[in-house]
Amino acid sequence: MKKYGKLITIFICIFVVVAAIVGAVFLRGRASAEKEPEFVFLYAENQAEDYPTTIGDQYFAKLVYKKTDGRIKILVKYNAELGKESEVIQQMKYGGIAFARVSLSQLAEYIPEMNVLQMPYLYSSSEHMWRVLDGEIGDEFLEKPEVYGLRGLSWYDAGARNFYSTKPIRSLEDVRGMTIRVQESEMMADMVSALGATPSKIVYSEVYSAFEKGIVDGAENNWPSYESMKHYLVANYYTIDEHTRVPELQICSSAIWDQLSPEDQAIMMECARESAVYERQLWAEREKSSRSIAEENGITVIELSSREKERFREAMSGVYTKYCSDQMDVLQKIMDY
């Protein structure tokens, strides 16, 4: 009986040793399979984790990791963890940050040539804008950031900005005399002035209060912003005039880009374009959802007629001249594209 017990003990010991050896071999093999990435880069995003652009950024990072077999890992930092957009752009010039998603309006502060793409009433529709940006014109403008040490990768959607107000806007005459909140942008202020209204530069977080206090009669923004801040409770007329469509860009620091092989650069461009298509789908879904929420809260949606929208565009002649005097041919080419 004692002999039988010793045999069992010996058998258990052998089993434990073999299991330990097998486990060590398995872990060693797994460690070699999950080798350390050759590059680890930071990606700056100022929106929240669940925002369409942030999800698009993360999809881009995932695609790059997969298509490079884990050699390149990109860490997306959202909620402006790496700084506001203007600070990020400056850091990228020197390679402090590798990738970012930035608004065209911010980039145009450093590269004025890009202003032409965000002129008021430039695009007749979303389809028109993407026809421009996904074509030869868009490709040419993706190259322009190179003068500032940046590489344009792809275009993201940020929707169209429209007017919303405490009284209906159905014509150019309805806008005249109103006080309308605008973002910190001289061009937007000039646009509102050209329509005969008075621009009021108020920070985004204080717009709701400005309506409540009667400081402004109207404001302008896209559907998600209008809905998320519950501005529909204080301004229940939403006029679809689509005065501006300001696309966003995925960019890479040239200092980082030049470190990559031509093969990896090609992978980056491919992944950037794939993520752009995905982000646009997310944006469309978010826009539809936000509009539904606002409508459920009893707002009145007004769509400008084609003729009235043309009158709004005609009022922009002075704005076009001020900001695009040396690019009027490009402006017209975009409108006709």
pLDDT, tens digit, for every residue of 121-144?
Answer: 999 999 999 999 999 999 999 999
- Over range 282-295, report the average pLDDT: 97
- Say whether pLDDT at 4 is over 70: no
Percent above pLDDT 90 for the chain:
82
- Say whether pLDDT at 7 is over 90: no
- Say whether pLDDT at 267 is over 70: yes
**Per-residue pLDDT band at 34 (split at 50, 70, 90):** low
- Over range 71-95, report the average pLDDT: 94
Return contacts of 171-177, CB within 8 angstroms, 24+ apart: 171/308, 171/311, 172/196, 172/308, 172/311, 172/312, 172/315
Q: Within 13 A of 112's CA, how many CA atoms are on the CB side?
A: 7
- Say whether pLDDT at 38 is over 70: yes
pLDDT, position 29: 43
Tokens of 275: 């993520």
Tokens of 95: 């390679």
Query: Cβ distance 107 to 114 under 8 Å?
Result: yes
CA 59 to chain centroid, in Å, comes to: 13
Tokens of 308: 């009235």
Query: Over the stretch 13-25, which tens digit does the pLDDT of each residue have?
Result: 444 333 444 344 3
SS3 302: strand
Can you name the residues that pair with 42 across neighbouring β-strands? 75
pLDDT, position 229: 93
pLDDT, position 28: 44
Query: Over the stretch 193-226, which tens digit does the pLDDT of each residue have?
Result: 999 999 999 988 899 999 999 999 999 999 999 9
pLDDT, position 209: 97
pTM of the complete model: 0.82
H or E element at residue 187: helix 186-194
> Which residues, at least 6 apart from 134, have a Cβ–Cβ distance to it below 8 Å?
155
- Say whether pLDDT at 5 is over 50: no
pLDDT, position 13: 42
- Over range 214-242, report the average pLDDT: 96
Dihedral of CA atoms 210, 211, 217, 222 in degrees, nearest 10, equals 100
- Say whether pLDDT at 1 is over 80: no
Query: Cβ distance 165 to 143 under 8 Å?
Result: no
Task: Give the phi and the psi of residue 42 in degrees, each rounded to 5.
Answer: -100, 140
Mean pLDDT of the chain: 90
> Phi-psi bin for 41: left (phi > 0), alpha (psi -120 to 50), beta?
beta
CA of 65: how far to CAs of 22, 122, 256, 268, in Å?
30, 37, 16, 10
